[in-house]
Amino acid sequence: MASREELLDAALGVLNRTATATMAEIATAVGSSRATLHRHFSSREALIAEIARRAIDRWELTQAQVGLQAASESTEPAVLDATLRALLRQYVVDAADFGIVLTDDFAAGAPELTERTLAIVEREVVFYAQAQRVGVLRSDLPPRWIADVVYGLMVSARESTRWGNVARRDLADLVVGTFFAGAGR
């Protein structure tokens, strides 16, 4: 029998391919019975909420691993530039998980998930504003717009790999290059 984590991983893959998949379709696609899936998750909403929680945990972990908070307090352009590049590259790796959090209506409407997401985005906005102050990013763009651009690039990264439009190995360079071509100095 698949573990809870294995079911979550498999369900995430199914939902990224078919966002409207039912619990029965998810169970079939992951090679499990509906009963097994329902033993772990009482409903489709509960499944998506758990996937979203896990994605938000990873999002917070990524921010911590790249040193977002410390970089937000730095006045060194090289520190902010390196942190931003590391952040974008790791977000590309995590894009499949972030996609469900950022694009699923249920995940976007759950108060607990929304609150955590807004706190994460706020940390990014502070970071982007500092990157603007030290000249890493254009100062004529609202920092929240920059956060939205990063979000858009992550959804594009997920969809591009989903449809086979770009090779996964090229994706991080494409995202970083596209981002800096539009928002960088």
Distance, CA of 134 to CA of 163 (rounded, Å): 38
Distance, CA of 6 to CA of 83 (rounded, Å): 31
Q: What are the b/e assignments for 64-89, b being 16+ CB within 10 Å?
A: eebebeebbebeeeebbbebbbbbbb
Distance, CA of 21 to CA of 115 (rounded, Å): 26
pLDDT single digits (tens) 33-44:
999 999 999 999
pLDDT single digits (tens) 7-23:
998 898 888 888 889 99
pLDDT at res. 2? 75
pTM: 0.88
Specify which of 41-55, 125-139, 147-161 reaches the highest per-range mean pLDDT: 125-139
pLDDT at res. 96? 67
- What number of helices (H) and strands (E) belong to the chain? 10, 0
Structural domains present in the chain: 1-42 (1.10.10), 53-183 (1.10.357)
Q: For residue 135, which phi and psi values (nearest 5 degrees)? A: 90, 10
Cα dihedral 160, 47, 6, 35 sign: negative
